Amino acid sequence: MSQHSTPNPPSLNLRGFEIFEGFLDVKKQQNLLEDLRVVVGKAPLFTPTMSTGRQMSVRMTSAGRLGWVSDNNGHRYQDRHPRGMGWPDIPKSIMEIWNAVGAPERTPDCCLVNFYDEAARMGLHQDKDEADFSWPVVSVSLGDEALFRVGNQERGGKTESIWLRSGDVVVMGGEARLKFHGVDRINSGTSTLLPKGGRINLTLRVVT
């Protein structure tokens, strides 16, 4: 994480993952959701397929210069949505979060938008498709609670978990940047932010 002052110190530090609980109040969450509706209107959610042919349980899209995609050819960043259109710009409301807790001296190339319904999961994984791991990944939670699990820099070993709630922000930098992490389950009905329920997770990344 960039060595600059933030509005408030993180509430928790879980194996190097800095967790800012309740970073976004309800009004800011609602404004963020409106901006995301514009993003999804320009770059619709899609269901990625792993190289094995198995579909992921989350739906996703991106904003920024690059977006993350996965299909039968593998996973990667590219400058086009799978339907062929360019990705929309990252909304100002999201950039404000990056500038507050991330690394304001560098603009993120990608804001990955993941939508989890009550059955969606994200297995333990590392974020390592980027070229420079010295920049943090900033994660924003909106909607229903998610059981977030963190592990080690190598697969296996003991893990720890914490419930992430709507408005929480997590900074994955330094020692946490390449640690395995994932989402074990969604606690349906714990937030009224999304009219039909579910969780949105945003991750801001420097790719190049």
Domain of residue 19, CATH code: 2.60.120.590
User: What's the pLDDT at 52?
Assistant: 80
Classify residue 81: in a domain, yes or no: yes
Classify residue 126: in a domain, yes or no: yes
The boundaries of the domain holding residue 47 are 12-205
Residuewise pLDDT in 10s, the chain (208 residues): 444 445 678 899 999 999 999 999 999 999 999 999 999 999 999 999 987 888 999 999 999 999 999 998 889 999 999 999 999 999 999 999 999 999 999 999 999 999 999 999 999 999 999 999 999 999 999 999 999 999 999 999 999 999 999 999 999 999 999 999 999 999 999 999 999 999 999 999 999 9
User: What's the pLDDT at 66?
Assistant: 98
Q: How far are the Cα atoms of 65, 107, 136 from residue 3, in angstroms, in the given order?
A: 25, 16, 11
Classify residue 3: in a domain, yes or no: no
Helices marked H in the chain — which ranges?
Answer: 26-42, 92-101
What one-character-per-residue DSSP string does 35-78 give? HHHHHHHHS--B--B-TTSPBPSSEEEEEES-EEEEETTEEEEE
| Residue 165 near residue 113 (C-beta atoms within 8 A) | no
Give the dihedral sign, CA 34/36/41/42.
positive
What would the two tokens of residue 146 be?
A: 């998610």
Structural domain tally of the chain?
1
User: What's the pLDDT at 5?
Assistant: 44
pTM of the predicted structure, to 2 decimals? 0.93
Q: Which helix H or strand E contains 14, and what residues bound it?
A: strand 12-14
